[in-house]
Structures are given as structure tokens and as C-alpha cells.
């Protein structure tokens, strides 16, 4: 990196980004959450289980529910089996495997409060366990229903960011670009973007990160219906001014992106974040168009499969 650039970094005031200059690693994960590990508190105080369950992918959320349901019933089936199958009427006692299978399905029927009636508890201990299991089942399904409703009703931006950012020719110079697009049929208006750059420099032999607020060609649009290519022009006011291709490859850079928009259906503001690190910045490239008119020229097709497509292009010098 050129010495003049290092001097410029020292003279530039760090932006109040919320991250300290001595923080390390990626600041924002691709999923939009801060890359921070909290220590000094136990796991029960460190994690909000409600937020964790809401942020899980649909597949993992359903998988966890199914696994928890099966494990709970296995545990109760073992309890009933230890109490003794003679305390349950209607059990197939032809062999131990059939006994356990019957006890497992009795547990699942009790847990869901279905209770078909073929198998029933007899005696105090079996009835006590069945009563507790039915109560636990009511609480568990109430919590699961609340989580389903929270996931279903929570406003989300439903934006897809390009996996890469590019340094492309722009208005006789160059610009740093990335793009995003809505992938569901939600209606987003008054969308604005905030882009920050974290650039690592060495001062007195110690690495530190300087933060910069990047000016964009457009920082707000009225309607986010198609893709939005966010453009930061690399000029005298840019921290990347004078950067060569080698500088982009050898410097530890992270672009931190926050998009905020108004969802008309939920009548609420939604926020989504992402980031780009050095290995995800392609120098000398331009995104290819990702929307075009249909055959009848009556509507516009937004092809989300093209969000990461680019073509190499020499920069003007």
C-alpha cells in the first residue's frame, strides 16, 4: 500500500460505527448479525432463546421441533417402561420391542392430549406421570404456537444481496458497487442505505480498523421493486481514492451495509444488513442487467438468478 495512503488514513477521523478500532475478524456476518462472542455470562443469560428460534431458518426450526417432540416422547416412554407396562392397559406384550412401541405411542397421545383410549394408565404412579406429561404438552404446544405466529407475523425485508461487490468503470472514473433485490412480493417503499467501510491499517506495529462513511450516488429510493445497484464513486472524498488492484487485494477491507425500508403491508420499518470483505470484492468488473421486459412487453421480469453475474471490464486510467 502506498505510504501517502497510510498517512491519509491516519488523518481521517474514524466513524462512530458501533465497532471499536481494535475489534477483529468480520464485523457483520453474511446473515446480517454482528460477529461478536459474548463472555462473562452463562449461556442462559447470553442467549435470547426467543430471538434464536425466530432467527432460525425454516428447515432448522421445524427440524428442532420434530427432534424435541421425538426425544420428549422417548424420555416419557422410558419412564412408563420403568414404572412397568403392567400399569398400562391395552399393551401388546408379545415382545419387549412391541411393548416399547406401544408405550411410545401412548406417550405421544398423552403429550398431544389426543388420548384414543386403547391404552390407559392404571395406578398412582402411571397416572401421575400421564397427568404431568399432558400438562407439559399443553405448555409446549402453546410455546410452539407462539413461535410459529412470531415467525409468520414478524416484518422482514426479504432482500437478497449480491455475494460480491465490484469495482467498475463509472462516469470517467471508477466506483465500488454491490446490488440487492427483493425476492418476495412484499411492497417496500422509502428505502435508504447506509454503507460503511472498515479498513485495517498498521499503527506502531499494531493493527487497527478505521471506519468511514461511504457516500453513495443514491442513498434513498422511493420504491424498491426491482434490483438496486448501490454505487460509491471513488473520488477525492473516498477512502479508496488511489487504490490499485493490488491495494484492494492486499488490504483488509469490510463494507458494512444496512438497508432500511417501509413495508406497506405491515405498516412497519424493516431492516436488513450484510457485508463484503476483501475476498468478496472483484476488481475490474461490471454487473450484468438482471431485469428485462417480457415477450409481450407488458411487464418486467426480475431474474434473481443473475444477481451475482458480472463481466470483466478494464478500468479507465
**Could you give the domains of the chain?**
44-153 (1.10.287.70), 156-312 (2.60.40.1400)
- So what's the pLDDT on residue 9? 44
Under 8 Å between Cβ of 240 and 176: yes
Taking the C-alpha atoms of residue 257 and residue 55, their distance in angstroms, rounded to an integer, is: 19
- Residue 178 corresponds to which cell in the numbers above? 454491490
Place of cell 461511504: 214
Q: Print pLDDT tens along the chain (317 aa).
A: 443 344 444 345 445 666 766 666 777 887 777 777 777 777 777 778 888 888 888 899 999 999 999 999 999 999 998 998 888 888 888 788 888 899 999 999 999 988 888 889 998 999 999 999 999 999 999 999 999 999 888 888 999 999 999 999 998 899 999 999 999 988 899 999 999 999 988 777 777 888 899 999 999 999 999 999 999 999 999 999 989 999 999 899 999 999 999 998 888 999 999 999 999 999 999 999 999 998 888 899 999 999 999 999 887 65
What confidence tens digit (pLDDT) does each residue in 231-252 have? 999 999 999 998 999 999 989 9
- The pLDDT value recorded for residue 176 is 95
pLDDT score at 51:
86
What is the C-alpha to C-alpha distance for residues 225 and 162, in angstroms, rounded to an integer?
16
- What pLDDT, on the 0 to 100 scale, is given for residue 6? 44
> So what's the pLDDT on residue 24?
64
Amino acid at each position: 500500500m502506498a505510504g501517502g495512503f497510510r498517512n491519509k488514513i491516519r488523518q481521517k477521523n474514524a466513524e462512530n460505527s458501533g465497532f471499536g478500532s481494535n475489534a477483529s475478524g468480520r464485523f457483520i456476518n453474511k446473515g446480517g448479525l454482528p460477529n461478536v462472542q459474548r463472555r462473562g455470562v452463562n449461556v442462559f443469560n447470553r442467549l435470547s432463546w426467543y430471538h434464536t428460534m425466530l432467527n432460525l431458518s425454516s428447515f432448522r426450526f421445524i427440524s428442532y421441533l420434530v427432534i424435541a417432540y421425538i426425544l420428549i416422547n422417548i424420555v416419557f416412554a422410558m419412564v412408563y417402561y420403568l414404572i412397568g407396562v403392567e400399569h398400562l392397559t391395552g399393551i401388546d406384550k408379545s415382545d419387549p420391542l412391541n411393548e416399547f412401541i406401544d408405550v411410545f405411542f401412548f406417550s405421544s397421545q398423552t403429550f398431544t392430549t389426543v388420548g384414543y383410549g386403547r391404552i390407559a394408565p392404571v395406578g398412582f404412579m402411571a397416572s401421575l406421570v400421564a397427568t404431568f406429561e399432558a400438562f407439559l404438552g399443553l405448555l409446549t404446544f402453546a410455546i410452539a404456537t407462539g413461535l410459529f405466529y412470531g415467525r409468520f407475523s414478524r416484518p422482514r425485508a426479504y432482500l437478497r444481496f449480491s455475494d460480491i461487490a465490484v469495482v467498475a468503470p463509472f462516469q470517467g472514473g471508477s466506483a465500488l458497487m454491490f446490488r440487492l433485490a427483493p425476492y418476495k412480493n412484499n411492497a417496500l417503499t422509502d428505502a435508504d442505505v447506509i454503507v460503511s467501510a472498515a479498513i485495517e491499517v498498521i499503527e506502531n506495529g499494531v493493527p487497527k480498523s478505521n471506519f468511514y462513511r461511504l457516500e453513495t450516488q443514491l442513498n434513498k429510493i422511493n420504491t424498491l421493486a426491482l434490483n438496486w445497484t448501490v454505487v460509491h464513486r471513488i473520488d477525492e472524498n473516498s477512502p479508496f481514492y488511489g487504490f490499485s488492484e493490488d491495494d484492494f487485494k492486499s488490504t483488509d477491507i469490510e463494507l458494512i451495509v444496512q438497508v432500511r425500508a417501509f413495508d406497506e403491508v405491515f405498516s412497519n420499518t424493516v431492516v436488513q444488513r450484510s457485508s463484503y470483505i476483501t475476498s468478496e470484492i472483484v476488481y475490474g468488473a461490471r454487473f450484468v442487467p438482471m431485469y428485462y421486459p417480457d415477450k409481450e412487453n407488458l411487464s418486467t421480469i426480475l431474474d434473481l438468478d443473475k444477481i451475482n453475474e458480472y463481466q470483466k471490464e478494464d478500468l479507465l486510467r
